[in-house]
């Protein structure tokens, strides 16, 4: 969507604060020994209390309120009462929701407890690259140039990017134009970011895979060559200067 009046900005701010607060609280709540279903139910309860509706559930009938992916799962992981979190697990929580006709999306990867498996470096790379990407977005900037920046920064750190996952426009529905805000330079993509547009910017930084493939459950995605992936995501409003980061209160950069 494109923000044309103040009421739309306020609506987007409220929806974004709901998903950002939920993500922050879920991150604080997550600990070794609990199931991903317990964690998801906790997030679902917060969304409900805020009057927000889970976007994946509303849009796709996803079997959970939030997407929770653990270790070799890259994204769209289904919360389960059989999946118990362990110390050192790499976990990704993606929270998107609708509130009063406005939609917002955010996500982040982090390590449960102590980093006994050495995932923190990957998590930090994903966070830093997202920050750098957002700092470089303004009206008129080529979408493919931000993709190039993300891939270049990943390579510098010895990582790859997932080429078939990307950010997207958002606002009046979960996925809008511009779609496919990819993590690499698509030289055929001549589109530019437009001032006042609302987009969800996501990093998909991986250790060994460059594509995500779907498992038989019809949702969960893993790497085509295995390994691990870290994702971080903010919903932003593009301006002629620094973007407005609508989901900033999620604290994923802290």
Residue numbers belonging to the annotated binding site: 76, 94, 105, 168, 175, 202, 233
Annotated binding-site ranges for a divalent metal cation: 94, 105, 168, 202, 233
Cα-Cα-Cα-Cα dihedral of 31, 33, 35, 36, to 10°?
30
| Residue 117: both structure tokens together | 């498996």
- CA–CA gap between residue 202 and residue 122 (Å, rounded): 15
Residue 217: helix, strand or coil by DSSP?
Answer: coil
Contacts of 10 (CB under 8 A, 6+ apart): none
Annotated binding-site ranges for substrate: 76, 175
- Helix (H) or strand (E) segment spanning residue 235: strand 229-237
The Cβ-side half-sphere exposure at 128, using a 13 Å CA radius, reads 12
| Residue 199: both structure tokens together | 């987009």
The string of DSSP letters for 132-185 reads HHHHT--TT-BHHHHHHHHHHHHHHTT-EE-TT-EEEE-SSSSSEEEEEEESS-
């Amino acid at each position: 969507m494109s923000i044309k009046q103040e009421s739309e900005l306020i609506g987007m701010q409220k929806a974004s604060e709901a998903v950002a607060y939920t993500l922050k609280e879920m991150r604080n709540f997550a600990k070794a020994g609990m199931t991903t279903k317990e964690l998801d139910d906790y997030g679902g309860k917060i969304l409900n209390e805020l009057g927000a509706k889970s976007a994946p559930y509303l849009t796709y009938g996803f079997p959970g309120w939030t997407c929770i992916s653990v270790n070799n799962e890259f994204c769209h992981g289904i919360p389960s009462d059989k999946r118990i979190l362990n110390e050192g697990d790499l976990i990704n929580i993606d929270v998107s929701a609708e509130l009063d006709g406005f939609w917002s999306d955010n996500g982040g990867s982090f390590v449960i407890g102590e980093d006994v498996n050495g995932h923190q470096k990957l998590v930090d790379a994903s966070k830093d690259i997202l920050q750098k990407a957002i700092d470089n977005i303004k009206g008129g900037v080529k979408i493919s140039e931000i993709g190039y920046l993300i891939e270049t920064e990943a390579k510098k750190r010895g990582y790859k990017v997932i080429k078939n996952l990307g950010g997207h426009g958002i606002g009046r529905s979960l996925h809008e134009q511009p779609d496919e805000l990819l993590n690499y330079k698509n030289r055929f993509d001549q589109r530019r970011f437009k001032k006042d547009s609302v987009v969800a910017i996501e990093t998909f930084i991986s250790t060994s895979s460059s594509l995500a493939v779907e498992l038989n459950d019809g949702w969960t995605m893993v790497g085509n060559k295995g390994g691990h992936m870290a994702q971080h995501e903010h919903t932003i409003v593009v301006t002629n200067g620094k973007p407005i980061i609508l989901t900033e209160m999620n604290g994923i950069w802290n």
